[in-house]
């Protein structure tokens, strides 16, 4: 029985490096991969490459796709090998020869297995993409949304018909939360916004708005 | 209510801005995939295929062009705030009749955009035509329906007061239009939602726990009237 060191399966290379499965040595993909340091390893399990951003890559070639079925087993084995929080990517060669099968491949990879598929035309494009993935910057980094809630509360209160900014501000000075405002009686609202508006606001919150009778 | 949803037609919401370049897609969704599609005014050009999933559709050249990336990043970040799952359908550019189809020139910029999208957790799907995109949207909606996340309430809300209530629900932070729809069908009045427990908010809005907690906290959040007035400017002048 083979005994695989789990350390290697979970190995994350340092920035600027790629861990590549041994079988890719001498491939045109790696030969055109410039400015990236390579570490060869034959214990990567089902994956072909490990990248510094904690992602694993499986390469599905045109041949794999045309031969049918064998690639599915490879993909399932790959998916099941994910022991930790790796991002699992699948590069799929989408060429003139394989494009007729592409929708079916995508269905299997993305819908059945829930993996991320990236189409490429061949090894040259794959190596360009890999080179980008090894780089560090991410223009889409999520801005942590530590937004102030006060303006949002103010905006919501203005959704009440007949309540503009001035009335909303006045109301929130007396009833500081939406919960308090909703549960205020018309009599409590009246000194702030007048009789008619007080009635209207109270009704708005308490009027039945459900389509289903309860 | 653990009964599995009947495999009826899937419900999809589409922003009105999706129509301009999506007529084929829309009719294909309705006719070939028998989806119930409701066009409404969402806060961006996207589709909602379940209570937790939104999908945007972009042409490949759109994704590859320089000035769009920042806007795309902002929009997707926004969507990720109110949807647990965000998909991007990348559609091959359409060639006009008579025009020879030029192979897409893949640039480093395009690759870095893809990489960034993948790293941010946006799911990418690939399509070669509007018809195929419609199929992907329907597949997504069906998959979500099987997982119990499909939009199960009617997509339309009738009556002025209900419409206004829907508007109000949509302005709750992190609440998407599908959650708001669920709320307007499941709560008998706005006051009922406001006075609900976290559990009931979660159930009525068909949303995740963290989101329900956020809504619950927001409804009880005590405003600082000073902060509200600072935006008026000029009032706070202390030396």
Q: DSSP string of chain B?
A: --PPPP----EEEEEGGGSTT-HHHHHHHHHTS--EEEEE--SSS-EE-SSSEEEEEEEHHHHH-TTHHHHHHHHHHHHHHH-SEEEEEEEPPPPPTTPPPPPP---HHHHHHHHHHHHTTPEEEEESSHHHHHHHHHHHHHHHHHTT-S--S-S---SHHHHHHHHHHHTSTT--HHHHHHHHHH-SSHHHHHT--HHHHHHHHT--HHHHHHHHHHHHPPP-HHHHHHTT-SS----
Q: Is A51 in the same domain as A115?
A: yes
Q: CA triplet B178, B180, B182: central angle to 5 degrees?
A: 70
* Host domain of residue A210: 139-214
Nearest CA-CA distance, residue A123 and chain B, Å? 13
pLDDT level of residue B71 (50, 70, 90 thresholds): confident
Q: Is A87 in the same domain as A149?
A: no
Contacts of A159 in chain B (CB under 8 A): 164, 167-168, 171
Q: What is the mean pLDDT of residues B160-166?
A: 94
Domain end marker among A135, A154, A184 = A135
Contact B174, A195 (CB under 8 A): no
Q: Is A17 in the same domain as A54?
A: yes
Q: Which of B9, B1, B42 is nearest to B145 (CA)?
A: B9
Q: What is the pLDDT of residue B229?
A: 62
- Residue contact B195–A179, C-beta within 8 A: yes
Q: How many domains does chain A have?
A: 2
User: How far, in Å, are A92, A94, B127 from residue A119 at the CA level?
Assistant: 5, 6, 11
**Residue B228: pLDDT above 70?**
no
pLDDT level of residue A6 (50, 70, 90 thresholds): very low
Radius of gyration of chain A (CA): 29
Q: What is the pTM of this model?
A: 0.88
Q: What is the pLDDT of residue A122?
A: 93
pLDDT digits (tens, 9 = 90+) for B203-222: 999 999 999 999 999 999 99
Q: Is A84 in the same domain as A152?
A: no
Q: Is B228 on the interface with A (CB under 8 A)?
A: yes
Domain end marker among A82, A114, A135 = A135
Q: Is A130 in the same domain as A145?
A: no
Question: Could you tell me how many residues make up chain B?
Answer: 239
Q: Is A117 in the same domain as A178?
A: no
Q: Is A208 in the same domain as A166?
A: yes
Q: Is A119 in the same domain as A198?
A: no
Q: What is the mean pLDDT of residues A146-154?
A: 84
**Residue B148: pLDDT above 90?**
yes
Radius of gyration of chain B (CA): 20
Nearest CA-CA distance, residue A25 and chain B, Å? 23
Q: Is A152 in the same domain as A58?
A: no
Q: What is the mean pLDDT of residues A51-64?
A: 91
Q: Is A126 in the same domain as A162?
A: no
- Residue contact A209–B188, C-beta within 8 A: yes
**Residue A2: pLDDT above 70?**
no
Whole-angstrom Cα distance, residue A38 to residue A25?
10
Domain end marker among A135, A156, A181 = A135
Q: Is A44 in the same domain as A150?
A: no
pLDDT digits (tens, 9 = 90+) for A20-30: 999 899 999 99
Q: Taking all residues of chain B, what is their mean pLDDT, rounded to a whole number?
A: 88
Q: What is the pLDDT of residue A67?
A: 87
Whole-angstrom Cα distance, residue B175 to residue B207?
9
Contacts of B80 in chain A (CB under 8 A): 142
């Amino acid at each position: 029985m083979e005994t695989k060191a789990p350390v290697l399966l979970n190995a994350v290379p340092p920035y600027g490096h790629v861990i590549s499965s041994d079988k890719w040595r001498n491939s045109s993909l790696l030969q055109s991969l410039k400015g990236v340091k390579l570490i060869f390893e034959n214990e990567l399990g089902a994956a072909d490459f490990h990248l510094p951003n904690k992602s694993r890559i499986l390469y599905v070639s045109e041949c794999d796709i045309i031969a049918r079925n064998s690639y599915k087993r490879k993909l399932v084995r790959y998916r099941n090998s994910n022991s930790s929080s790796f991002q699992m990517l699948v590069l799929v060669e989408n060429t003139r020869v394989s494009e007729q099968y592409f929708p079916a491949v995508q269905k299997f990879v993305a819908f059945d297995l829930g993996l991320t598929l990236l189409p490429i035309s061949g090894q040259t494009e794959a190596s360009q993409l890999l080179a980008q993935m090894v780089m560090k910057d991410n223009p889409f980094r999520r801005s942590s949304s530590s937004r102030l809630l006060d303006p949002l509360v103010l905006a919501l209160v203005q959704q009440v018909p007949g309540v503009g900014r001035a009335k909303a501000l006045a109301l929130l000075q007396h009833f500081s939360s939406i919960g308090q405002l909703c549960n205020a009686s018309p009599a409590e609202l009246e000194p702030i916004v007048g009789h008619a508006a007080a009635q209207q606001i109270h009704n708005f919150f308490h009027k039945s708005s459900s389509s289903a009778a309860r | 209510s653990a009964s599995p949803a009947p495999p009826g037609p899937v419900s999809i919401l589409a922003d009105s801005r999706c129509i301009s370049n999506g007529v084929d897609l829309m009719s294909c969704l309705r006719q070939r995939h028998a989806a119930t599609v409701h066009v409404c005014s969402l806060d961006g050009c996207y589709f909602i295929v379940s209570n937790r999933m939104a999908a945007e559709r972009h042409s490949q050249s759109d994704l590859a062009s320089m000035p769009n990336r920042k806007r795309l990043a902002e929009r997707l970040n926004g969507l990720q705030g109110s949807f647990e799952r965000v998909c991007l359908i990348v559609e091959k550019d359409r060639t006009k009749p008579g025009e020879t189809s030029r192979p897409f020139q893949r640039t480093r910029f395009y690759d870095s955009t893809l990489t960034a999208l993948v790293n941010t957790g946006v799911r990418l799907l690939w399509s070669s035509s509007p018809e195929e995109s419609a199929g992907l949207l329907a597949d997504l909606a069906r998959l979500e329906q099987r997982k119990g996340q499909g939009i199960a309430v009617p997509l339309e809300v009738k009556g002025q007061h209900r419409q206004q209530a829907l508007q109000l629900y949509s302005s709750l932070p992190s609440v998407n239009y599908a959650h708001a729809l669920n709320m307007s069908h499941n709560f008998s009045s706005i006051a009922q939602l406001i006075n609900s427990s976290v559990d009931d908010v979660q159930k009525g809005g068909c949303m995740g726990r963290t989101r329900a907690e956020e809504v619950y906290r927001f409804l009880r959040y005590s405003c600082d009237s000073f902060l509200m007035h600072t935006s008026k400017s000029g009032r706070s002048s202390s030396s």
